[in-house]
Structure 1
Amino acid sequence: MALSRLAGRSLLEFLITLLIGLAPVACGLLVLALQVERKQEETAAVSAAEAIYAIDLVIDTLHSTSNAVLGLAGQRCEQVLPALRQAALRQPSVRSLILIRDNRGYCGTVLGNFDAAFDPGSYFNQRLRLDLQNQITPDMPVLHYRLQEHPVGVIATSDARTLQLELQGFQNGIVLALQFGSDFLWANGSGSVAQVPNYEEDKQRQVSDKYGYVVHAGYPDGHTRQVLRQAIHSTAPLLLLVGILTSAVAYWSLFRQQRQPAP
């Protein structure tokens, strides 16, 4: 009986010591998981804000160029076409400029003198339209910016590649997607919401105060687990060392001194 009682007591001491040692390890892993989650949320929010800043600058260029040639709208195309083309050439991000009169395009830097109807209702916020399939470059979407002072106006276009290059500058596996109405553009593609790459983890949504388009940011499924696994691999030795030291101190304090004979 004495041996079994001693064995049972030793097992109990071992289990208590083990649980005490595991406590800092478990707490450390929990804190690490919370830190990873919080860090990714902050990174997604900051990335969305930085993307808005970068895309706003591109659209600012379209606006300033359109505003500079707005005075040409309404005049004969033959007279203003050279100046219109010079204005477009001065801005690398501007692919073309079109003059509008009574909601009809009549003069463009690419087409010259032409006639085509333009529907203001097709523009998001009456100003922006992401054209996913245009006739001139069917494989490359373009962004249209509309500046209107009725009855005349200007439409400036920019290759979507310009916007995609801005999105490609973001690292750490984050997915960024621009939304113009029902159309989306991301770093290496464009299309509907169903085609946007997965970004379900730590999702963020921010709206441009200037132009009203939306930036979605997030991480694909499994990204948090991968980052957490890498963080655990780097911190596990330290956590285990803390657990072992905690167990040793707890054993000495709780049990070792109890076994010492009284003087």
Structure 2
Amino acid sequence: MAPPRLAGRSLLEFLITLLIGLAPVACGLLVLALQVERKQEETAEVSVVEAIYAIDRVFDAMHGSSNAVLGLVGQPCEKILPTLRQEALRQPSVRSLVLTRENRAYCSTLLGSIDTAIDPGSYFNQRLRLDSRNEITPDMPVLHYRLQEYPMGVIAISDARSLQTELQGFKNAIVLALQFGSDFVWATGSGSAKQVPNHEENSQRMVSEKYGYTAHAGYPDGHTRKMLSQAMASTAPSLLLVGIITSAVAYWGLFRQRRKPA
């Protein structure tokens, strides 16, 4: 039976060796956690920038169609309707074009001659409006883009699906949402802020300089923990091997050499 002093010394040597071996493992896990967190932040930052770029292109197309027919405003609807419909067909993202005069819509590519009041205050930034209560597609909101050179104006109308299609192109479990005032659109739906899928982790936001809407990007709760667990599962064996080798080398260098007879 080993004397108490020798047993205590052996225990101390074991603890010191264990701590030395755990040091690279702990450092490796810390670096891994920081890398996972930083990667998600960078992905969210890049995604929100790319989302702004993609959605701006959708609005650029709507603006182009509106601007192309702005010169027709004021002419009789029956006379210009064929040209108006032809322009609407040129741009796939545009469902219809509506001509307005003194804030009253009077000609539509879908309905022909109309007489409907337009409320500028219902448009975000006087330009954009998300309509979730339309009669034509009640299950899909429509987006209105308003080009105004008072008293003349044009409204380009598109399905919100055109925005959702762009958002669905982003992977890596990133959640993207577009905000138009109090209304939101995301890859699988639309609604109020309370209905937007959770994206609190590594959240980023950016305002479009061209059109004023806001793009939000982030990950749902628990995503970082999930990614860290996956990363640890793949790197833990390597870190443990490094720890064992470090412990063995430390033990040999610190203690075994001292026990050799002179």
> What's the TM-score, normalizing by structure 1?
0.98
Which sections of structure 2, spanning at least 5 residues, go unmatched? none
Give me the whole-angstrom Cα distance separating, in 1, the residues matched to 2:48 and 2:133.
26
Which residue of 2 is the match for residue 141 of structure 1? 141
Aligned partner of 2:33: which letter? A
Give me the whole-angstrom Cα distance separating, in 1, the residues matched to 2:239 and 2:179.
44
Which residue of 1 is the match for residue 67 of structure 2? 67
Measured against aligned partners, the alpha-carbon deviations of 1:113-155 in whole angstroms (never above 9, x if no partner) come to 0110011111111111111221211111011000001101000
Aligned residues: 262
Which residue of 2 is the match for residue 43 of structure 1? 43
Counterpart check, 1:112 vs 2:112: yes
Which sections of structure 1, spanning at least 5 residues, go unmatched? none
Which residue of 1 is the match for residue 18 of structure 2? 18
Note the C-alpha offset of 1:2: 6.3
Measured against aligned partners, the alpha-carbon deviations of 1:8-60 in whole angstroms (never above 9, x if no partner) come to 11111001100100000000000000000000000001001111110000000
Counterpart check, 1:198 vs 2:173: no
Give me the whole-angstrom Cα distance separating, in 2, the residues matched to 1:19 and 1:132.
62
Give me the whole-angstrom Cα distance separating, in 2, the residues matched to 1:256 and 1:158.
78
SS, match of residue 172 in structure 2: coil
SS, match of residue 145 in structure 1: strand
SS, match of residue 30 in structure 2: helix
Q: How large is the Cα RMSD of the aligned pairs? A: 0.9
Structure 1 runs, 4 residues or longer, greater than 6 Å off: none
SS, match of residue 258 in structure 1: coil
Which residue of 2 is the match for residue 239 of structure 1? 239
Aligned partner of 1:184: which letter? F
> What's the TM-score, normalizing by structure 2?
0.99
Percent of residue pairs bearing the same amino acid type: 78
Give me the whole-angstrom Cα distance separating, in 2, the residues matched to 1:242 and 1:204.
37
Note the C-alpha offset of 1:80: 0.6
Alignment of 1:117-132 (within 5 A): 117-132=117-132
